[in-house]
A and B are shown apart, each in its own frame.
Chain A
Amino acid sequence: MMKPPSTSGSPKNPVKFRLPTAENLVPIRLDIEIDGKKFKDAFTWNASDPDSEVFAFARRTVKDLKLPTAFAFQIAQSIQSQLLEFRSYEGKDMHTGEKVVPIKLDLRVNQTIIKDQILWDMNNFEGDPEEFARTFCEDMKIEDPEVGPAIAIAIREQLYEIAKQGVAFMRESRTNKKGRKGMEHLSASKVGSPALDLGKLFDPEGSIQRKMSERDAYGPVVDHLSKEEVDALEAREERLPR
């Protein structure tokens, strides 16, 4: 099979760190507890926004949700540190390879439970998790407005994780001696994500249609919980903090 010329981030031709999405949004997750009061939230932050926005945002949030003022500082700090971590990767080379990764969605938003699996091409820098989430909610007729953003953030977090691994792999391969045979193979498992065998997936003789046995795993499952079930779940989560 003739391999088409690749522009993807192989060790010889690396790309700079970046989430494989069109918009460079950083997934931010907040989980702050002060004096028994808990504040949990997840959202995306535009990496290129100035830091002064962070404080303004924190103050605003505290005011809107009528939280104690102590939260403002904590929120700002948490966002700041997460942004800093993200920026520390920026500008670094990232290994992506010819890689399509499965993204597993398994989340609960209020009373909605979502289980799904999708494939994400790490070389497609025009992906749009938000758009996907919107279509998802439309197709599944989910009315809860919090579900869409939650899906998008879950996707971004996983992509972020894989991108970080790509940077780590690159660093590793640089420190190792060049031209080591089978390195890519060995490290593929090190990268951790179960990268798919593309040659097999996109075989010219094969079909792009998924095998029947796999279809269920890649199909969206949406479940609605009752109020009581949610309460029970939350109580269990309290007892067993992750």
Chain B
Amino acid sequence: LILHGKIAALLLYRHSTNAEEVLTMDASRLYKSSNELAHDLYTIPSYTSWFSWQSIHEVERLSLREFFDCSSITRTPRIYKEYRDYIITSYRQDPTRRLSFSDIRKSLVGDISVLHKVFTFLEKWGLINFDPSNAETPAAIHAPAEEDKEDEKWRIRVEEGTPHGVRVVAAPHSLKPLAPVPSPVITGHRGAGKGRGGGTVDNIPKFSPMASYLDVYGELVGQQKEESVVCLSCKELCASGHYEYSKDASSNLCEKCFTSGNYDKNKFADEFKPIDGANPKVNWTEAETLLLLESVLKHGDDWDLVTQNVKTKSKLDCISKLIQLPFGDLMLGSIHKKFNFLDKNREVRGVNQAQPAISESRETLGNQSHEQNQERQQNGNAECETPPLKKIRRAPVSEDSSFLMKQVAHISGAVGPHIAASAAEAAVTALCYENQCSTDIFDGDDNGLVSIADFSETERTSQVVGAEGEEKHVRSETEVEASQRNSISLTLRTRAATATAIGAAAAHAKLLANQEEREIEYLVSTLVEAQVKKLKRKMKHVEALNLMMEKQHGQMKDLEESLVTERMDILQKIFSSGVSRWRDHASVKSQSSTSSI
């Protein structure tokens, strides 16, 4: 089953060299006489991986029972195998041509119906007439379990979550993709730009895992989506709001023309539906959102009732709004706190730049902006004047990929270059999964794979080191890389960059988590140590006390002995003096004294 899934995800290509993807058929047995075709690769569908020249599989036994129930000498397993082998062999003599039943029945002896059954069986399982490039799902295959596999086969696999290769996991041992990260990089990074590292950390988690795409890119998307509505009567853009004619969505009126009654006579005022603002679906007030949530809680997904409650919004608006809403803590706060992601980023940068306020870093900063300008010119951007750094950062993502590259460079600059490299590689791999042609593009130059990471590294170097000799080298390197990237198509680059950024961010988050974990571990261990010390001290005390006790005990015994001898002396003195009157009294006394001891 694993094998099935694996192969299924990829279309099978003839003569592909990847042994895992293509089931290799040893054709030598077929071509005993003709050696030139001794070994060749043939493509069969993944669901037919059971096939073997040497044996007859259970699938064959079940589908073609008549050969295996000993009902006739004309239908035996041996004859089946010969039929099968002959048909497949004749197909493989020229797999580009479609083998027809009429072609093979000419040269096979046997009942036509049985032959036909074998033929259709082989065709159904793709052992003959299988064309991977034009593969349609063959007619229903009887075994129900097969159907799932087939579904899987033609489904486009979409990778979800962090880019392929970057795994965010709890156990630090399974962090394979990030394993080769050398620790000096992290420590160096922390030492060099503490404010910067902190800033990035603050920046990213603000958008919680539940934050939707719209929350992050909402502004940018909104700007693009904002269709320009042209008024029907005055032919001007309806800036503030417009009225849509309910019978024909394309005829719109601007507010001014509507109020002045400036439209066709055969249309009525109540047939126009007011659509306020340029972006009606985003314009939800907090009260409305609250009302929506309340009524959703009350009525569930009965949207008619919900809409009745909300009143000011249509059913569709309500649904789309609810879909857009990220849940959790962010649900209520998001409306107010929705900052521009990019603005924030800029702020962070400002902090970064303020912190290492040394002349050296300013120099490198100037160098950096110079680099950026250079890159913009290379990209042939329409803006002729060289805008200040901040303005570049505000440019929309989709329009200027060099800006995006900067973003990526920035994010990946927060992590070590090795992490960024692996993230970039992972992103490219993920893209290659989706698109075959991208492989060619990225395979074109191996440098392209790591160029993103390299770029960030060079930027970092220029920021941190800022040595004169290296600056020139760095600049030339970035130029080369920029031209390399320009050869890759814009969208692909954009996507690769985005994926890299996300990957880098994920990796960075993981690193921070690791750090945190280590800190916690350290604290716990110190705590335990302190406790142990405390216990040891107590033990010492107890031992000392024990010693004292023993000493006292010994003293007591000595005292007791001396007391007994004393008493004996006194008693003997009394006996010798012959006073019998005191006898009883003395014995009582001696008894009480022993008991007291």
Contact = CB atoms under 8 A, between A and B. Distances in A.
A5 interface: yes
A181 interface: no
Contacts of A215: 106-107
A121 B114 contact: yes
A228 B593 CA distance: 154
Contact of A118 (B73, B83, B105): B105
Most buried by A among B66, B70, B108, B111: B111
Interface stretch (B95-103, B495-503, B533-541): B95-103
A242 interface: no
B440 to A, nearest CB: 39
A103 B74 CA distance: 17
Nearest to B111: A121
A131 B115 CA distance: 12
Interface stretch (A45-53, A62-70, A134-142, A182-190): A134-142
Contacts of A218: 105-107
A12 to B, nearest CB: 16
Interface in A212-234: 215, 218-220
Contacts of A127: 111-113
A6 B112 contact: no
B86 interface: yes
A132 B70 contact: no
A139 B102 contact: yes
A135 B107 contact: no
A215 B107 CA distance: 6
Given A6-B71, A124-B114, A139-B100, A119 B76 contact: no
A136 B82 CA distance: 23
24 contacts: A4-B76, A6-B72, A100-B111, A121-B72, A121-B74, A121-B111, A121-B113, A123-B71, A123-B72, A124-B72, A124-B75, A124-B111, A124-B113, A126-B113, A131-B113, A135-B101, A139-B100, A139-B101, A139-B103, A208-B108, A209-B86, A209-B109, A210-B106, A220-B102
A93 B103 CA distance: 37
Nearest to B98: A139
A120 B71 contact: no
B483 to A, nearest CB: 55
Interface of B: 66, 70-76, 78-79, 82-83, 86, 100-103, 105-114, 116-117
Contact of B109 (A4, A6, A199, A201): A201
Interface string A102-135: 0100000000000000111101101110011001
Contacts of A40: none
Contact of A7 (B71, B103, B107, B117): B71
Contact of A8 (B71, B86, B103, B106): B71
B20 to A, nearest CB: 35
Interface in A59-108: 98, 100, 103
B77 to A, nearest CB: 11
B72 A207 contact: no
A140 B76 CA distance: 30
A137 to B, nearest CB: 10
Q: Which of B108, B112, B114 has the most CB of A within 10 A?
A: B112
A118 B74 CA distance: 15
A198 interface: yes
A122 to B, nearest CB: 9
A210 B70 contact: no
Contacts of B72: 4, 6, 8, 98, 121, 123-124
A220 B100 CA distance: 12
Contact of A119 (B82, B102, B109): B109
Given A6-B72, A100-B111, A127-B113, 10 more contacts: A119-B111, A124-B66, A124-B75, A124-B111, A132-B116, A135-B116, A139-B103, A201-B74, A218-B107, A220-B106
Interface in A155-187: none
B78 A204 contact: yes
Residue picked from A119, A138, A198, most chain B C-beta under 10 Å: A119
A3 interface: yes
A210 B109 contact: yes
Given A124-B66, A132-B116, A204-B78, A210 B108 contact: yes
A220 B109 CA distance: 14
B112 A118 contact: yes
A68 B78 CA distance: 59
A4 B72 CA distance: 7
B106 A119 contact: no
A1 B161 CA distance: 65
A39 interface: no
Contacts of B103: 139
A210 B73 contact: no
A140 B106 CA distance: 13
A202 B73 contact: yes
Nearest to B74: A202
A209 B107 contact: yes
B119 to A, nearest CB: 8
A220 B107 CA distance: 11
A153 B107 CA distance: 24
A220 to B, nearest CB: 5
A100 B83 CA distance: 17
A59 B71 CA distance: 45
Contact of B108 (A8, A126, A209): A209
B113 A120 contact: yes
Contacts of A220: 102, 106
Given A6-B72, A208-B110, A135 B102 contact: yes
Contacts of B113: 120-121, 124, 126-128, 131-132
